[in-house]
Amino acid sequence: MDKATVSDNIKSIRLKLGLTMIQMAESLGMTRQSYAKLERGSVNYFSPHIEEIARMGNVSTEELVLGYEPNPEPARELGEARELFQKQKQTLVNRYEDTIMQMRKEIDYLKLLCDAQKQTVESLMQSNELLRKQVLELEAARGEYGDEVQKHAPGRSTGKS
């Protein structure tokens, strides 16, 4: 917003309407001094009077302030782009949430498999311990009865030819 442009546009509307500064100020419900400051650009343009001046000049407030009527097409295109972005964002969020849910299910399943494997390992370790004890018992028994067992073992020669 260029103050000179706004000032020139305000003055141009007043002159186009054929009004003096006093008449314009009165029609806006302002003092001449306040209106003069507005036309000179020495006050804030975010005044309710700007809308009234634009209405009087049969222009939009945008045209009064900017010096031209903005093209609504880019705003429409921006709105469409935002809408498309929101849809794509939501699609991605939904996919990620679905993927996370599926991964959680897989993690739960893998935890169950791990628990089952732990039980299998513990069972095998217990079986191994029992077998080890049995081997030790057999070796001990073999030591006691070793000579007798070897004499009767199949495939052993008895010493006779």
Taking only the tens place, the pLDDT of each residue in 6-15 is 888 889 999 9
Asked if residues 28 and 86 have their Cβ atoms less than 8 Å apart, the reply is: no
Residue 1, pLDDT > 60, answer no
Q: Percentage of residues in the chain with pLDDT exceeding 90? A: 48
Asked if residues 8 and 1 have their Cβ atoms less than 8 Å apart, the reply is: no
pTM, two decimals, is: 0.41
Through-space distance between the first and last CA atoms of the chain, rounded to whole angstroms: 125
The mean of the pLDDT values for the chain is: 85
Q: Percentage of residues in the chain with pLDDT exceeding 70? A: 85
Whole-number pLDDT of residue 46: 62
Which range is least confidently modeled, 14-18, 86-90, 156-160? 156-160
Cα gap 69→62, rounded to integer Å:
6
pLDDT tens track for 87-137: 999 999 999 999 999 999 999 999 999 999 999 999 999 999 999 999 999
Q: In what helix (H) or strand (E) does residue 130 lie, and over which residues does it extend?
A: helix 72-152
Cα gap 85→102, rounded to integer Å:
25
Whole-number pLDDT of residue 127: 96
Picking from 73, 43, 67, the residue whose alpha carbon sits closest to that of residue 59 is: 67
Q: Where are the domains of the chain?
A: 3-66
Instruction: Decide if domain 3-66 falls under CATH 1.10.260.40.
Output: yes
Whole-number pLDDT of residue 148: 61
